[in-house]
């Protein structure tokens, strides 16, 4: 098996390890999976069991400054210091450890998120994508977006989809070395698409998605059908994108999300990411749909709900969900 | 394929069609599946995809008087007339149509349920079991419990388990004619076992379990793993019964129920039988368990929750769930 260090060496190749800048500031958007990344075939290399498909959240994401330091590591999140050995701190430096060298022995990171951290709003996706873009700028690697996607994946799987705006397809790949498991952007542009973020709870998750995935792959009997679900859903999602049928796409996304959460119910000690408020919002969506409103949702490893709908329904849905943040992925 | 009429003829054989009594009154207990019956391999004969395992609810069930009439059919439920062509009315007479003859051209039924009807509390299980016992009495068939189980199954699958008290095992059978798909009682007697019924909602179900099963078998991708789930769960449930480890049995029952409800989430138009109150009760159970109380639950095709626990915890749980009806299956 290829280790992470060897994997990075294969991507960066003979590029210089010298940093050309002292600091770089970059932005990467968050992304929401319409067809979920759920389960790894390699934990070491963050290789997924299946393909996935996401929509990026335009201006919502991480603005990150990465600075080389001669003296010490430091991590700031939204202008607060993150203490050493915090889980988030360790994740960031496990990743950055792969890029330290004599010229750049330590790193200082300042990340500003305009979405809540650790609440299933893909903060690690945009966070690691931004770090990757910042490394590329700092070391003047001049890597392609596809190569950067390969690197971002090591930080957090879904980060490999946060290098673009719009619809992004992460190819699972088949190679053991992981070099064919990267994302590509899709050529669809639907300005009428809206994503509505409803934040139920910003407290850190009880179960990290990393841990939940490992448990699910290992113990959920229902997970055995997950690859089949994704294959079916993705095929139909691509057809919907080709036809411009966003309602069909949203319905498929909701079904895919429910299948993912269903696999979690079958753990010996089942996991639910929903709070009572989550269930109330889901019931509200269902009842609006029963009244003829084409509004759908998706949910990740957290209690928050992301509504999927078209611009025509923005005004009426604003009244139904007063706290909703409306994202226009293509405007 | 064997039709229902031919199936009944094979069981009843050459027994007289003459009724010896004008009326018969019998009781059958309701039963709660610990390993669920979920999905049919034959709709005509109510043959299940898998085995299942239940606990009968002692005094909770149906007290039914079946009377032969020369003039008309009639159905009373809890002393109220059920109007003709109501779904429940049709189910009852679809079943009784198999037993009409010149001597018994019409039937009058009076059923008293001491559990809410149509709310996932197995009212059809005890109802059809009681009808079957009443037919046996009325026509003096003198059939064995096993043969009666075969007949009750045609009314409602789970009714085949309501002919006994205690733990009951329904064998799926493999024959096309369905004559090996009946229940048997298990030799375990655990007086400390308790079932707590928490009724959230007694209104009729939005989705009948008959319809939901058909949809699930046909469209749920996750359902493909259901036979595997049951095989694993049943094996471990029998081990727990053998060891007298009720806590292990209850934990397995909860897992099995969650897997069943998970298969419903993957329908193109997903089905949830839970109300907000259901979710609140489930969270309450989870939090009590996190505090060390060995209390588990199961849920059927309705919003109501059935707690599973041992006598030692009866007092403390009565305080937590004030509306709970406590059933002692072996006392």
pLDDT reported for residue B119: 54
Does residue B265 sit at the A interface (CB-CB below 8 Å)?
yes
pLDDT reported for residue A86: 86
Comparing CB atoms, the residue among A251, A258, A270 nearest residue B266 is A258
pLDDT classification of A120: cutoffs 50, 70, 90: low
Would you say A275 and A302 are in contact if contact means Cβ atoms under 8 Å apart? no
Would you say A72 and A290 are in contact if contact means Cβ atoms under 8 Å apart? no
d(CA B305, CA A241): 42
Residues of chain B positioned with their CB less than 8 A from the CB of A35: none
The tokens of B28 are what?
A: 């059958």
Residues of chain B positioned with their CB less than 8 A from the CB of A266: 229, 255, 258-259, 262
According to CATH, what is the number of the domain A4-185? Answer: 3.30.230.10
Q: What's the pTM value of the predicted model, to 2 decimals?
A: 0.94
- Mutation to test the A interface, candidates B222, B273, B278, most A Cβ within 10 Å: B222
Q: Which of A9-13, A51-55, A179-183, A283-287 has the lowest mean pLDDT?
A: A9-13
B97 min Cα distance to partner chain A (Å): 38
Q: Residue A4 is inside which H or E element, if any?
A: helix A4-12
Comparing CB atoms, the residue among B228, B232, B266 nearest residue A262 is B266
pLDDT reported for residue B117: 62
* Alpha carbon of residue A78 to chain centroid: 19
Residues of chain B positioned with their CB less than 8 A from the CB of A225: 221-222, 224-225
> The complex's ipTM?
0.92
For A225, nearest residue in chain B (alpha carbons): B222
User: Which CATH class for the B193-327 domain?
Assistant: alpha beta
Does residue B90 sit at the A interface (CB-CB below 8 Å)?
no
Does residue B320 sit at the A interface (CB-CB below 8 Å)?
no
pLDDT reported for residue A119: 54
Residues of chain B positioned with their CB less than 8 A from the CB of A268: 251, 255
For B250, nearest residue in chain A (alpha carbons): A268
d(CA A24, CA A31): 22
Comparing CB atoms, the residue among A224, A265, A274 nearest residue B262 is A265
Question: Of the candidates B236, B260, B261, B264, which has an alpha carbon nearest to the alpha carbon of residue B250?
Answer: B236
Q: Which of residues 186-225 of B touch A (CB under 8 A)?
A: 221-222, 224-225
Residue B103, C-beta contacts closer than 8 angstroms, at least 6 positions apart? B17, B18, B19, B68
Q: Using only C-alpha atoms, what is the Rg of chain A?
A: 19
Residues of chain B positioned with their CB less than 8 A from the CB of A276: 276, 279-280, 283
CB spacing of B225 vs A222 below 8 angstroms? yes
d(CA B316, CA A276): 24
Domain residue limits, chain A? 4-185, 193-327
Residue A315, C-beta contacts closer than 8 angstroms, at least 6 positions apart? none
B268 min Cα distance to partner chain A (Å): 6
Reading chain B (331 residues) residue by residue, the pLDDT tens digits are: 789 999 999 999 878 667 778 999 999 999 999 999 999 999 999 999 999 999 999 999 999 999 999 999 999 999 999 999 888 899 999 999 999 999 899 999 999 999 866 555 678 999 999 999 999 999 999 999 999 999 999 999 999 999 999 999 999 999 999 999 999 999 999 999 999 999 987 777 778 888 999 999 999 999 999 999 999 999 999 999 999 999 999 999 999 999 999 999 999 999 999 999 999 999 999 999 999 999 999 999 999 999 999 999 999 999 999 999 999 999 8
Would you say B200 and B278 are in contact if contact means Cβ atoms under 8 Å apart? yes
Residues of chain B positioned with their CB less than 8 A from the CB of A274: 279
Does residue A228 sit at the B interface (CB-CB below 8 Å)?
yes
Residues of chain A positioned with their CB less than 8 A from the CB of B261: 265
């Amino acid at each position: 098996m290829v280790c992470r260090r060897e994997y990075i060496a294969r991507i960066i190749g003979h590029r210089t390890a010298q940093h050309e800048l002292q600091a770089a500031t970059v932005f990467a958007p968050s992304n929401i999976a319409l067809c979920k990344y759920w389960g790894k075939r390699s934990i070491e290399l963050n290789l997924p069991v299946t393909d996935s498909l996401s929509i990026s959240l335009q201006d919502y994401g991480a603005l990150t400054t990465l600075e080389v330091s001669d003296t010490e590591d430091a991590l700031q999140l939204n202008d607060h210091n993150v203490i050493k050995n915090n889980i988030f701190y360790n994740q960031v430096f496990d990743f950055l450890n792969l890029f330290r060298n004599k010229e750049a022995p330590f790193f200082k990171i300042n990340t500003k998120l305009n979405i809540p951290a650790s609440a299933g709003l893909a903060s690690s996706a945009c966070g690691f994508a931004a770090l990757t873009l910042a490394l590329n700028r700092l070391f003047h690697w001049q890597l392609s977006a596809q190569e950067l996607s390969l690197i971002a994946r090591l930080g957090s799987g879904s980060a490999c989809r946060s290098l673009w705006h719009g619809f992004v397809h992460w190819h699972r790949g088949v190679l053991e070395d992981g070099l064919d498991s990267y994302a590509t952007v899709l050529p669809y542009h639907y300005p009428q698409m809206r994503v509505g973020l409803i934040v139920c709870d910003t407290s850190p998750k009880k179960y990290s998605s990393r841990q939940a995935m490992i448990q699910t792959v290992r113990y959920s009997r229902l997970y055995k059908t997950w690859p089949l679900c994704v294959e079916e859903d993705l095929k139909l999602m691509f057809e919907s994108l080709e036809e411009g049928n966003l309602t069909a796409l949203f319905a498929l996304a909701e079904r895919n999300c429910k299948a993912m959460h269903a696999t979690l119910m079958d753990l010996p000690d089942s996991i639910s990411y929903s709070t009572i408020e989550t269930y109330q919002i889901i019931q509200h969506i269902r009842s609006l749909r029963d009244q003829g409103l084409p509004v759908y949702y998706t949910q990740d490893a957290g209690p928050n709900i992301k509504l999927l709908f078209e611009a025509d329904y923005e005004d009426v849905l604003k009244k139904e969900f007063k706290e909703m943040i409306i994202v226009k992925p293509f405007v």
